């Protein structure tokens, strides 16, 4: 029973990860940390042998991520447009509810020391700076209309997807933000809505390569100095709260409703933390 609940957690975590990486400003990596899956996923895809030994976990997570991507393209996107404050506040609640887990994971081996404040503030500043640039519409988003196979375009998609995929698993950095920076965000969203596989297939191939490469790098860094890595992660996570703070936030009725959704998000995050036990479980 406990194993089944654990796999349910992996699937739900995958769904939220998929949604987060499509919605601008929301970090899929942050959601991995909030759901206690960050170390597990980065370790599981850090090598060929690791992938095979964690195959059931990865398939469950991938199915959830695929579901989340399709949901976000069809449903969640309209929720952000129609109920922007409430939906963003729900994600903020998920993040805030996961902070105790991040502290627990980061200090599992060593206690916090004054030097931790350096990676914390640097990473938080990076996330906030990127967010300010995004909110001032620094990046252009023009969709490309692709109706057939194009070798040059496919190679471009593979490279852009690989770069964006690395950021998808870094807490605090939005994968969709990186796609905006590379100028392919609208193209990908349009392809998902239209099920245009001339775009989806090369992008998925590049994303797979990027995620595996990024996971290997992060896994190495965590093994070298977990405390400092998690100090940086905490800074990114805190910065991501500002990143998804919705337009129109203030002393108004919509924000009041938003706080109710934020509480729901906090409760959901705490509940997910209880499902399947801590991240360190390898079942």
Of 35-44, 72-81, 164-173, 238-247, the range with the lowest mean pLDDT is 72-81
pLDDT value of position 94: 77
Distance CA 18, CA 39 (A): 17
Q: Is the pLDDT of residue 203 over 70?
A: yes
Query: Percentage of the chain with pLDDT > 70?
Result: 82
DSSP H helical segments within 21-150, as ranges? 28-34, 38-44, 48-53, 55-71, 77-82, 84-106, 117-135
pLDDT value of position 112: 82
Distance CA 243, CA 134 (A): 9
State pLDDT tens for residues 59-83.
999 999 888 887 776 666 566 667 7
DSSP secondary structure string for all residues of 232-281: HHHHHHHHHHHHTPPTT-SSSHHHHHHHHHHHHHHHHHHHHHHTT--TT-
> Binning pLDDT at 50, 70 and 90, where does residue 275 land?
low
Average of per-residue pLDDT across 27-36? 77
Of 105-109, 138-142, 223-227, 233-237, the range with the lowest mean pLDDT is 138-142
Average of per-residue pLDDT across 202-215? 86
> Binning pLDDT at 50, 70 and 90, where does residue 24 land?
low
- The structural domains of the chain, with segments of one domain joined by +, span 2-274
pLDDT value of position 60: 93
Distance CA 79, CA 63 (A): 22
Q: Is the pLDDT of residue 282 over 60?
A: no
Mean pLDDT (the chain, rounded): 78
Distance CA 167, CA 20 (A): 12
List, in order, residues 6 or more apart from 282 with CB less than 8 Å away: 40
With b for 16 or more beta-carbon neighbours within 10 A and e for fewer, the 83-105 pattern comes to bbbbbbbbbbbbbbbbbebbeeb
Average of per-residue pLDDT across 46-66? 87
Average of per-residue pLDDT across 185-206? 83
Q: Is the pLDDT of residue 210 over 80?
A: yes
List, in order, residues 6 or more apart from 192 with CB less than 8 Å away: 22, 69, 70, 73, 200
Q: Is the pLDDT of residue 261 over 80?
A: yes
pTM of the model: 0.62
């Amino acid at each position: 029973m406990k194993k089944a609940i654990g796999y349910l957690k992996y699937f739900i975590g995958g769904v939220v990860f998929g949604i987060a990486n499509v919605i601008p400003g929301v970090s899929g990596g942050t959601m991995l940390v909030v759901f206690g899956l960050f170390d597990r996923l980065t370790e599981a895809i850090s090598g060929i042998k690791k992938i095979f030994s964690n195959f059931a976990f990865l398939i469950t997570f991938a199915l959830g991520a695929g579901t989340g991507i399709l949901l976000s393209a069809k449903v969640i996107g309209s929720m952000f447009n129609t109920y922007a404050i409430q939906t963003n506040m729900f994600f903020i609640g998920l993040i805030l509810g996961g902070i105790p887990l991040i502290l627990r994971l980061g200090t599992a081996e060593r206690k916090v020391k004054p030097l931790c404040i350096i990676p914390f503030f640097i990473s938080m500043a990076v996330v906030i700076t990127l967010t300010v640039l995004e909110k001032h519409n620094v990046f252009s988003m023009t969709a490309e209309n692709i109706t057939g196979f194009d070798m040059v375009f496919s190679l471009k998609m593979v490279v852009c997807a690989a770069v964006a995929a690395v950021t998808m698993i870094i807490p605090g950095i939005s994968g969709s933000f990186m796609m905006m920076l590379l100028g392919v965000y609208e193209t990908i969203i349009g392809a998902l809505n239209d099920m245009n596989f001339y775009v989806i297939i090369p992008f998925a191939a590049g994303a797979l390569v990027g995620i595996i490469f990024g996971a290997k790098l992060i896994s190495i860094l965590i093994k070298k100095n977990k405390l400092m890595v998690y100090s940086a992660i905490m800074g990114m996570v805190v910065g991501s709260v500002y990143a998804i703070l919705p337009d129109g936030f203030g002393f108004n009725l919509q924000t009041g409703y938003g706080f109710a959704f934020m509480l729901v998000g906090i409760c959901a995050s705490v509940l997910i933390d209880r499902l399947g036990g801590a991240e360190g479980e390898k079942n």
